[in-house]
Amino acid sequence: MAVLTCRGVERAYGDRVVLRGCDLNVEAGERVGLVGPNGCGKSTLLAILAGAEPPDAGTVQRPTQLGHLAQEPKLGEGTVGDAVDRALGWHRALLAEFERAHAVGDEAAAQDAQQRLDAAGWVQDHKVDALLTLLGAPDRGAPLARLSGGETRRVALALALLSSSDLLLLDEPTNHLDAEAVDELQGWLTEYRGAAVLVTHDRYLLEALATRIVEVDDGVCVSYDGSYGDYLIARAERQAALSKAEDQRLSLIAREAEWASRSPAARTTKQQARLKRLDALMKTRPMAKEKHFSLDLRAGLDRGRTLVEATGLKKRYGDRLILPGLDLTLRPGDRLGIMGPNGAGKSTLLRVIAGAEQPDAGRLNFGPRVVIATLDQHRTGLDPDDTVMEAAGGGNTSVRVGGEDVHVTSFLGRFLFGRQQLDQRVRTLSGGERARLLMARLLLKGASVLLLDEPTNDLDLMTLRVLEEALLSFDGAVVVVTHDRALLDRVCTSVLAFEEGGRCGTYATRLQAQAAAKERRAAAQAAQAAAAAKAQPAPRAEPPRPTKKGLSWKERQELTALPQRVEAIEAELTQLGDRLGDPSTYRDPKADVQALQRRHAALSQELEEVWARWSELDSKA
């Protein structure tokens, strides 16, 4: 059964047509990966599917409740807890529906609501707390107006995941998450029972989750069954077939046009039909040409010399130690990946190397003629009021690339900026377009050391592959902070992990760093359990009692009273079970649910003890 259907969806911005007739069905439980180059309309289509933006034409049928993570989310007013309450409105409505159906005796509706509550969970508080912790979001009391951009996006992702049990529409859900949180999110989405449509550049996430890939190609949706790996193969086959068909169409047009120019027009019915066919061929929409660009950042460096050497780098903010006396050496060909939770100090390390911040202690030495270029996660370094041409050329009509003067127009064309975009203001560019513009400036700078902070944010999969190839062939040194697991695994020659307690460890790979972290956590848990056992007082040895035959008068009285005690405990347990199973208990502000649960657990333990005592006395009687 389809939970989401769109037919003939069209959307244009001025003269630019983004969607020209998209059709899409999403079945219950299906996971769809939505892919395509930057600017093709993925986020626009997702917003239309969610109802956040109207289409110019076409229809969309969606469930009444869905979770939507927009590219630039708006959280509203109040605190994180207020936003969570708004996101869980569907759950309160479902509880009310169950109660209403139960009250009027509508067994079918009550059973349906009960099944949906069983699947979603009758109580959501524990789920909310676990999800906020998993994503590294602020606590419930944090004011929404004071959240940073990363915090806003993490809260918005949590709200989207909590907003529905039927359908999720997520636009770049891994942005601003560290690698460990991305792993946890992948696990959460794997267990999610509803349908999902994902726009993401995280290839591991697509490969693990997607049951189907839908590509937005020239304004329409093209569906490929299977995983992301299956999509790459099927897409290449489709592109080859389309290219062959386009060549045949152009060849036929050329042949028919030559015939039309030599033949008397419209002399016979057969000729008129042939001319109509030529007209139809010329009106057929041509195959959209794939846009490609390449990025060569090589600077012709000697691979033997040291570029950057750091010794004992320390940085502290107040009482918090960020850099714990770090030693680091970078040579040509080194590609160092930085891992760690948000706020651990990854970006601080980049700023210290770049000279934007000074370390509190330690030395930082650079080799001769070292040029450092930075790409930060906020895409700074661009004046929003500059045109694209001004941002690339600095006011000049030509730039120097590889020892040659190249006109800015031609240079920008290499990075997929058309002539119509040259006068466009930087502030109007998408995140991916700003990233491409900054890559162009990296090329012009001729850097020997690249410092990249979350470079994959807002990049489409094609641009991401171009960046990877450029980094693999780069002859300088690269330090990259990224949550993109595929980039870390493919590009980096070593990994620096920010660990618990302000430590830093160097590893050969990301997986090695993760394995070491798991071992530390297991060792810490074992040590904690051992300490708790050691702190537990040893049971006092009681002197042996003389064996008695039969029951004493006091024991006979106790045995007589035990059946009534068992009956009383079981009755109270039944009463408590009924209250804990009633949804209205959890909405009653006077009900202390935790106290009820503790009482239920204590009575269960007591019942076991009474039964054991009964068995003991009965065996002696």
Whether the pLDDT of residue 495 is over 90: the answer is: yes
Q: pLDDT by residue (tens digit) across 524-555?
A: 888 888 888 777 765 665 555 555 456 676 77
Q: Residue 205, exposed/middle/buried by CB under 10 A (0-12, 13-18, 19+)?
A: buried
User: What is the β-pairing status of strands 308-317 and 320-330?
Assistant: antiparallel
Given strand 372-375, what is the order of strands in its sheet?
372-375, 449-453, 477-481, 335-339, 494-498, 504-507
Computed over every residue of the chain, the mean pLDDT equals 83
Whole-angstrom Cα distance, residue 413 to residue 393? 13
The pLDDT of residue 589 is 66
Q: pLDDT by residue (tens digit) across 117-150?
A: 887 778 787 788 888 888 888 888 899 988 877 7
Q: Which residue is it, tokens 């909310």?
A: 128
Q: Residue 217, exposed/middle/buried by CB under 10 A (0-12, 13-18, 19+)?
A: buried
| Burial call 477-496: b when 16+ CB within 10 Å, e when fewer | bbbbbbbbbbbbeebbeebb
Whether the pLDDT of residue 17 is over 80: the answer is: yes
Check if the beta carbon of residue 61 is closer than 8 Å to that of residue 118: no
Q: pLDDT by residue (tens digit) across 241-267?
A: 777 877 777 777 777 677 666 665 545
The pLDDT of residue 295 is 77
Q: Model confidence at 270, in pLDDT bands (50, 70, 90)?
A: low
Taking CB atoms within 8 Å and a gap of at least 24, the contacts of 509-517 are 510/179, 510/337, 510/339, 510/485, 513/339, 514/180, 517/180
Q: Which two tokens mark 483?
A: 């949550």
Whole-angstrom Cα distance, residue 487 to residue 456? 9
| Burial call 364-380: b when 16+ CB within 10 Å, e when fewer | bebbeebebbbbbbebe
The domain limits of the chain are 234-283, 308-510, 553-620
Find the mean pLDDT for residues 591-597. Answer: 71
Neighbouring residues of 536: CB distance < 8 A, sequence distance ≥ 6: none
Find the mean pLDDT for residues 299-308. Answer: 78
Neighbouring residues of 329: CB distance < 8 A, sequence distance ≥ 6: 306, 308, 309, 310
Residue 73 burial (CB count, 10 A): 15
pTM assigned to the model? 0.71
Neighbouring residues of 523: CB distance < 8 A, sequence distance ≥ 6: none
The pLDDT of residue 555 is 75
Whether the pLDDT of residue 613 is over 60: the answer is: yes
Whether the pLDDT of residue 436 is over 90: the answer is: no
Query: Among positive and negative, which fits the CA dihedral 224, 229, 235, 237?
Result: negative
SS3 sequence of 226-250: CCHHHHHHHHHHHHHHHHHHHHHHH
The pLDDT of residue 275 is 65
The pLDDT of residue 508 is 92
Find the mean pLDDT for residues 431-441. Answer: 81
Q: pLDDT by residue (tens digit) across 369-389?
A: 888 988 887 777 788 888 988
Q: Which CATH superfamily includes the segment(s) 553-620?
A: Valyl-tRNA synthetase, C-terminal domain (1.10.287.380)
- Could you tell me which of 410, 393, 370 has the C-alpha nearest to residue 444? 393
Least confidently predicted of 90-94, 196-200, 427-431, 479-483: 427-431
Cα angle value 145/150/151 (rounded, 5°): 50
The pLDDT of residue 169 is 95
Check if the beta carbon of residue 38 is closer than 8 Å to that of residue 459: yes
Q: Model confidence at 218, in pLDDT bands (50, 70, 90)?
A: confident
Find the mean pLDDT for residues 464-488. Answer: 89
CATH code for 308-510?
A: 3.40.50.300
Distances (CA, A) of 208 to 161, 204, 228, 230: 18, 6, 9, 12
Percent of the chain with pLDDT over 90: 24
User: What is the β-pairing status of strands 504-507 and 320-330?
Assistant: unpaired
More confident residue, 322 or 608: 322
The pLDDT of residue 305 is 84
The pLDDT of residue 437 is 87
Name the β-bridge partners of 495: 337, 507
- Could you tell me which of 297, 369, 374 has the C-alpha nearest to residue 333? 297
More confident residue, 76 or 290: 76
Q: pLDDT by residue (tens digit) across 305-349?
A: 899 999 999 998 888 888 888 999 999 999 999 998 877 888 899
